[in-house]
Structure 1
Amino acid sequence: MRIDIITCVPKLLEGPFSHSILKRAQDNGLVEIAVHDLRKYAINKHGQIDDYAYGYGAGMVLMIEPIERCINDLKAERTYDEIIYMTPDGEVFNQQTANQLSLGGNLIILCGHYKGVDERIREKFITKEISVGDYVLTGGELGAAIVADAVVRLIPGVMNDETSALSDSFQDDLLAPPVYTRPAEYDGMKVPDVLLSGHEAKIAEWRFEKSIERTKERRPDLYEKFKKKY
């Protein structure tokens, strides 16, 4: 998989892709993540990539030409499964979307900034619009990092134990069950006996029951979705 991220503040993305699982995935050749500075595609020598919005109002808008140039350069090199725009009015990102995107080969993620991008970019190039929640960030960079992280960890070979991703929260519209490690007793609190039993079937049953219990208590909206499916 290759993920190309278009941004006007590339340094914001240096940290997330330089450590832990995302770094190992790149080092092992399982994914390639490239960050593209939109200012390299500016319309003039002053590095201009934005302008005032038509129709009054505060805030700047990212211009058509720099974004179009960058996207066209990328598309000339390879075919992309999705061209994603990070925006507060996109569909809210969830585990099902991450699963779907992880099955693709190449993605472009365009980071919004200021008041967003000229609407004609969205109409001409964008195939999917994603929001990471009902709030507004300074730009789409942190959201792009979230999407990349959630997608890359699902690629076969990225996780040391591939079954780990399958037991994450939201995979079946359920939250993950409680987890424990050593010591078996701490400050009078004991690890549930079933987890120490070595009985795989009973442990699986306990985890499933706890997932349902936790989801019903903490995310009744997800619990209702789970009930309808099962």
Structure 2
Amino acid sequence: MDVKIDILTLFPQMFDVFNYSIIGRALRNNILSINTIDIREFTKDKHRKVDDYPYGGGAGMIMTVQPIVDCIKEVKTRNSGKVIYLGPRGKTFNQSIARELSRESELIFLCGHYEGIDERVYKYIDMEISIGDFVVTGGEMACIPIVDSICRMIPNVLSSKESYMEESFYNGLLEYPQYTRPECFQGNDVPEILLSGHHENIRRWKRAKSLIITRNKRPDLFKKISLSEEDKKLIKLYDENR
């Protein structure tokens, strides 16, 4: 499966991070492709400007409409995916959106900069995503974690399906505690149940701890969970603060 992602940006070099680790391996194995396109290459301004003062006044500069639209149109000739703008009006990104977008075979991300984009660009945008109610330097800073989150759920990017299915947020819960060697470190032991080899008991412990940690750390998430009768019993069994 070859998934194509094009990123429209003023700073292509910022996305070199994808050449490393898990995503870098997926790129080398041709499981997906991530291409950066410099919006500045499409400006018709002789000084290569891509920003200007806003009509009506206001602080800062705005990315101009012409280079962005021409860039989108050119990329659309080889990528039919949704155009996704990283901006403050968008729905806040979460695991559900990541899962939805990971099923797409082609995507286009538009990174804004300065004080935003000319309003007329929105005509060419299919979806807007925000990473939260705070300000970052540019859309690139939001695009990196979003693309990473999407890519790791594409088949064969990770070594096994379980690698992401048991991670925090995938099923609406925070992840259970995990341990590795040594078995005892400065008087702190690995829970005995994890050394037992009893797979069903281990599964029940992991489920219980995931539920309890989510309840304690993220009650907002816990409220959305529909607890089974087994879940309720497991919480009572393993809740150390009861």
Task: State the TM-score, normalized to the length of structure 2.
Answer: 0.91
1:112 alignment counterpart = 112
Alignment of 1:1-230 (within 5 A): 1-14=3-16, 16-80=17-81, 82-122=82-122, 124-227=123-226
d(CA) in 2 for partners of 1:184 and 1:11?
43
Q: Secondary structure at the match of 2:223?
A: helix
Offset of residue 225 of structure 1: 1.1
Is contact 1:49–1:66 with CA below 8 Å preserved after alignment? yes
d(CA) in 2 for partners of 1:176 and 1:134?
25
Q: 1:26 to 1:77 in 2, by over 3 A?
A: same
In structure 2, the gaps of 5 or more residues are 232-242
Q: Secondary structure at the match of 1:44?
A: coil
Is contact 1:83–1:127 with CA below 8 Å preserved after alignment? yes
In structure 1, the gaps of 5 or more residues are none
d(CA) in 2 for partners of 1:192 and 1:66?
58
Q: How many residues align?
A: 227
For structure 1, which segment, 32-41 or 4-13, has the greater mean C-alpha deviation from structure 2 after superposition? 4-13
Residue-by-residue CA offset, 1:60-100 (whole Å, 9 max, x unaligned):
111111011111111112311x2100012311111111100
Q: Secondary structure at the match of 1:86?
A: strand
d(CA) in 2 for partners of 1:4 and 1:43?
22
RMSD between superposed Cα atoms in Å: 1.4
2:240 alignment counterpart = none
Identity of paired residues, percent?
42
d(CA) in 2 for partners of 1:27 and 1:18?
9
Is contact 1:13–1:142 with CA below 8 Å preserved after alignment? no
Is contact 1:87–1:130 with CA below 8 Å preserved after alignment? yes
> What residue identity is the alignment partner of 2:167?
D
Residue-by-residue CA offset, 1:186-210 (whole Å, 9 max, x unaligned):
1110111111111111111111110
Q: Secondary structure at the match of 1:148?
A: helix
Is contact 1:50–1:61 with CA below 8 Å preserved after alignment? yes
**Does 1 or 2 have the higher relative contact order (CA < 8 Å, sep 6+)?**
1
Q: Secondary structure at the match of 2:62?
A: strand
> What residue identity is the alignment partner of 2:42?
Y
Q: Secondary structure at the match of 2:116?
A: coil
d(CA) in 2 for partners of 1:55 and 1:224?
46
Runs of 4+ in 1 over 4 A off after TM superposition: none
Residue-by-residue CA offset, 1:28-53 (whole Å, 9 max, x unaligned):
00110001111101122210111111
d(CA) in 2 for partners of 1:46 and 1:202?
67
Offset of residue 161 of structure 1: 2.1
d(CA) in 2 for partners of 1:44 and 1:74?
20
Q: Secondary structure at the match of 1:73?
A: helix
Question: Bigger radius of gyration, 1 or 2?
Answer: 2
Is contact 1:172–1:226 with CA below 8 Å preserved after alignment? no
Is contact 2:151–2:157 with CA below 8 Å preserved after alignment? yes
d(CA) in 1 for partners of 2:121 and 2:84?
11
Offset of residue 107 of structure 1: 0.5
Is contact 2:84–2:129 with CA below 8 Å preserved after alignment? yes
Residue-by-residue CA offset, 1:122-167 (whole Å, 9 max, x unaligned):
1x11111111121110101021111110011111111112211000
d(CA) in 1 for partners of 2:54 and 2:202?
58
